[in-house]
Structure 1
Amino acid sequence: MSASASPELDAVVVGSGPNGLAAAVTLARAGLRVQVLESQDSIGGGARTLDLSLAPGIVHDLCSAVHPLALASPFFRDFGLEARGVRMIAPEASYAQPLENEPAAIAWHDVERTADGLGVDGPAWRATLGTLSRQWDLVAELALGDKRSAAPALLTPRTLAVAPLFGGLLGLQGTPAWNLPFRTDRARALLNGVAAHAIGRIPSLGLSATSTLLGALAHGVGWPIPEGGSQAIADALVADLRDHGGEIITGHRVRTWRDVPAARAVLLDTTAGAAADVLANRLPRSLEAQLRRFPRGDAAAKVDFVLSGPVPWRDPEVGRAGTQHLGGTREQMAAAEASVAAGRVPQHPVTLVSDPSVADPSRRHDGLRPLWSYAHVPAGDTTDPTELVTRQIERFAPGFRDVVVASRGVPAAELEHHNPSLVGGEISMGRVSMYDMIARPTARWDPYRLTDTGWYLCSAATPPGPGVHGMGGWHAARRVLRHEFGLREMPDLAPTPERLSFPLS
């Protein structure tokens, strides 16, 4: 299993998801010879956009569709997506929480507009999410670190002022004190709906961390949609990798270490269990057991729609947001998530919806538009989710069925067919709890390094966890450069002049 005396490659990355590509780009920028192996025929993992043959000219995002972390994460801020020509379009409303018996709650990009719409909870929203949104860069640094070290940039008076507010709001929303500091169902549901971007029982500290981070970014950088689809993010990473000598091989499934060419370092953008399979009987017995025992989370089932017009939301303001969280009140969402955790498909599952053409009209073609959606269900569920999701959308948008031209439902059990990392439909590569976000996938000091012979884990199964942010790959690559190549300075990730989408001044 150990690398040969003089391998042709310095590093091999298994998997071309955002974390794998972030690792590959970082290593190639450091001057290493890098090869990426991808089991699928297309590149991008959770950031792919494909023609599903549902309607001519209509393409769909396979997994992720809306990308605040692609603007906010330290990796992507250094990489500079927009400077490379990836147009990230933030709609005027980041997200909406429709309710059945009162007007919807809307999180506008403008925090003041949001607070004005929340009545008596406006001041509390300004004091919490508004304050955090003005320091969104620090919030992202705090949330997306390796959970093992403190970056020097965080040891500042500004951080010491932000961290207690971030931790305080996280603590309130993640515990039985979750009624504080908001007094109305609308404000409570609006923030709690953001937790739907993770899956698990609520309240919980793990999901509260998700809602606090993404809630702050909603007013900071907004929740942008890449023009043309999520594939634009993956394509920008691929272009930079190839510019620096990297190679990508598709259709290459890695089942064991024998399927990987000799290299000084191998990084696995896979689940913890898949890493254990690849290195079966070649890891310390205790570590292999820990990887296999890493708790799985609940799952998502996906439905892609083609519509003849916009979703007919009961409250028209909902349609101005790029993302809708469908679950009703916070208590209704908690009940639905409890059903999922108990292994039951709820009658009204927590459902996420996004019409990318709200921000990006280029996604429309001949009067048709795509609609992205997924519902929370138990892991491994085999039910076609199309009717389940259709009913949940109809609950808040009567007449939705009348604008549906075509649809494709993918049960949770089948999501892994287009992405092997989505085992049983689990999109978070492990349970989202506060402990499991830190001890991810183990409590070791270095959760990325698997062996002393150059094998590493760089996926969402490592800190900081799920999301299109590239940080798992970046953290792993930093360790590879130090341990395997003796390099302590991280390479510059900024686009070269020829890759800039605008001339240098």
Structure 2
Amino acid sequence: MIDATVVGSGPNGLAAALTLARAGLRVRVLERNATIGGGARSAELTLPGFVHDVCSAVHPAGLASPFFRAWGLTARVPFVVPEASYAHPLDGGRGAIAWRDLARTIDGLGRDGAAWRGLLEPLVRRVDAVTGFTLGPLLRVPRDPFAAVAFGLRALDQGGSGWNGRFRADAAPALLTGVTAHANVPLPSIAAAGAGLMLAAQAHGRGWGLPIGGTQRIADAMADDVRAHGGEILTGVEVTGPADLEPSTVTLLDTSAAFLDRFGGDRLPTGYRRALRALRSGAGVAKVDFALSAPVPWADPAIAQAPTVHLGGTRAEIAFSENEVSRGRVADAPYVLAVQPTLADPSRAPEGRHVLWAYLHVPNGSPLDPTEHIVRQIERFAPGFRDTILAAVPRTAPDLERDNPNERGGDISGGAATLPQLIRRPILSPEPWRTPIADLYLCSSATAPGPAVHGMNGWFAARLALRDRFGIAMELRDLAQS
């Protein structure tokens, strides 16, 4: 008999599987697609020889994650960690860069340098404690209360109508808003501010790294570890309910909360099913992958030093764009998140060629083809970009859901990352990975601590299953030694 079945091979499913396998269990992973990885995949999406990341591309949370650090991610997957974590172009050929070196960033922000220092330096000094606080369930006593308080006060500062109070120029608030908008929620808000501050602190801490060869390398290394410890991974297997599974002591779902509702059916209490259905999907994403004949011709050449670029202009322009999405519209000049990985990892394209990964936020389920919106916004800050395009392959929000049903309506976060839904994800509990069915656990980004490639959701769920069903106590230090 199988000890553990994991449905879904995204980073959290694989994190759960390798944790259980390293504890000595017989583990089977089932994946509906032909390739593993979920949101951590890479493929030739445009032209032969051009390797694109299907979903996630840059991994600050991966480098900072307690799970991945204990497991030894960077010893298993080669990473490049650029000196420039992210950049933000502005009109007039200007721009701002968040360097790994906090002092260098402060120097580049002129009269707002002191404000940046006051906001970020206390978090950077305690970056591992901040990461531990944010990559865990919020319903618990923090191990480092000082880091939690420092983080919380700054999230309040940047999460309300007074968020401009500490800034005098336009570059620093735009630089921070670009990273805050990753949350894909209205601005300003405490949840978005928290996400932005965490990512900005990691930018000055362990950096924003890219795996050489593409994000698929992360999923492949995790799968190799599962197999090395006796586990098996089956692809092309569609699971719709318990009848599709062989018997096992525990089942862990790296799926949406809606799938858990259908999977558990009448075995789940009515109140729990109501809570699952109340987990609201967030705004969607629409993405374009570009094959390019040359690097993006930024008006400010310094922007080419950062693989990650946030486009959208000033803080006010980005806030307007993101709030339009919450109203069911896409702005003419939207916020665009772009990654130019071949500047740091030329192995992803033929010699002299480049790939560009870019998306914008759209109302959930919107069929909008984002190509022209994205091209226009890049052209705004990089005149001549259009002439470098060899191929462009768009993926709408419904396309994303068809490829990965967990991304409902193009929501790549497993549910809107609002403050209430980060606290209650999917239920209000210090152990939200456990379901009312004794042998069933949820380990996806629909649980705490939420989205990003960090594996913590899978780790927490697997550790709970080991304790509940097998009487095995496992800590991160044990994972590092197994």
TM-score tier by shorter-chain length is over 0.9
Structure 1 residue 26 corresponds to structure 2 residue 11: no
| 2: CA distance, partners of 1:353 / 1:95 | 10
| 2: CA distance, partners of 1:293 / 1:254 | 23
Q: What does 1:441-456 correspond to in 2, within 5 Å?
A: 441-456=426-441
Structure 1 residue 17 corresponds to structure 2 residue 2: no
Residue matched to 2:64:
72
Q: Unpaired segments of 5 or more residues in structure 1?
A: 1-7, 497-505
Structure 1 residue 211 corresponds to structure 2 residue 196: yes
Q: What does 1:35-184 correspond to in 2, within 5 Å?
A: 35-52=28-45, 54-84=46-76, 86-101=77-92, 103-150=94-141, 154=143, 159-184=144-169
In 2 relative to 1, CA 430–136 (structure 1 residues): closer, same or farther, beyond 3 Å?
same
- For this pair of structures, how many residues does the alignment match? 481
SS of residue matched to 1:353: strand
Aligned-pair CA distance for 1:280: 1.7
Aligned-pair CA distance for 1:495: 7.2
Structure 1: which amino acid aligns with 2:249? Answer: R
Structure 1 residue 493 corresponds to structure 2 residue 479: yes
Question: Is contact 1:128-1:165 (8 Å) kept?
Answer: no
| 2: CA distance, partners of 1:494 / 1:45 | 25
Q: Cα deviations across residues 3-28 of structure 1 (Å, max 9, x unaligned)?
A: xxxxx111111100001100111111
| 1: CA distance, partners of 2:352 / 2:369 | 27
Q: Cα deviations across residues 361-380 of structure 1 (Å, max 9, x unaligned)?
A: 22231322111111111111
Deviates more, 1:416-425 or 1:17-26: 416-425
Q: Unpaired segments of 5 or more residues in structure 2?
A: none
Q: 2:229 aligns with which of 230, 244, 255?
A: 244
Q: What does 1:42-441 correspond to in 2, within 5 Å?
A: 42-52=35-45, 54-84=46-76, 86-101=77-92, 103-150=94-141, 154=143, 159-441=144-426
Q: What is the percentage of aligned positions where both structures have the same residue?
A: 51
Question: Is contact 1:311-1:403 (8 Å) kept?
Answer: yes
Aligned-pair CA distance for 1:102: 6.2
Deviates more, 1:487-496 or 1:333-342: 487-496
Aligned-pair CA distance for 1:447: 1.3
Question: Is contact 2:140-2:430 (8 Å) kept?
Answer: no
Q: Cα deviations across residues 429-451 of structure 1 (Å, max 9, x unaligned)?
A: 11111111110111134311112
Aligned-pair CA distance for 1:180: 3.4
Question: Is contact 1:50-1:62 (8 Å) kept?
Answer: yes
| 2: CA distance, partners of 1:314 / 1:336 | 22
Aligned-pair CA distance for 1:253: 1.1
Q: Cα deviations across residues 93-135 of structure 1 (Å, max 9, x unaligned)?
A: 1101111146211111111111001011112212321332232
| 2: CA distance, partners of 1:253 / 1:67 | 29
Question: Is contact 2:137-2:430 (8 Å) kept?
Answer: no
Q: Cα deviations across residues 294-331 of structure 1 (Å, max 9, x unaligned)?
A: 11110110100000111011111111111001111111
Structure 1: which amino acid aligns with 2:20? Answer: L
| 2: CA distance, partners of 1:490 / 1:260 | 29
Question: Is contact 1:254-1:278 (8 Å) kept?
Answer: no
Aligned-pair CA distance for 1:359: 1.3
